[in-house]
Amino acid sequence: MKMSVTIVCDCGRVITFNVKQDKDGLHLIDSIDESGVLTASPTTDYTTLIRCVCGHEIELY
């Protein structure tokens, strides 16, 4: 199953994450901020570090 998750960075920028769920949990497909900038690459890791264009880092588990 695929779904989108939206978070707001401390700077106020909105970032939407596209994730897929399988038997192993949630996996990041990609993330795109409000200006269309790709902020993360696909991964199968359980922890993903997202870096906002303002410099803040958001860690997802």
Question: pLDDT tens digits for 14-53?
Answer: 888 777 777 777 777 776 666 656 565 555 555 667 778 8
For residue 61, what pLDDT is reported?
Answer: 66
Query: 40 lies in which domain range?
Result: 2-60
Alpha-carbon dihedral 60, 17, 37, 10, rounded to 10 degrees: -50
CA atoms of 27 and 30, how far apart (whole Å):
9
Structure tokens at 27: 């996996």
- The number of distinct structural domains making up the chain is 1
CA atoms of 61 and 50, how far apart (whole Å):
11
CA atoms of 19 and 16, how far apart (whole Å):
10
Residue-wise burial string across 34-47, b where 16 or more C-beta atoms lie within 10 A, e elsewhere: eeeeebbeeeeeee
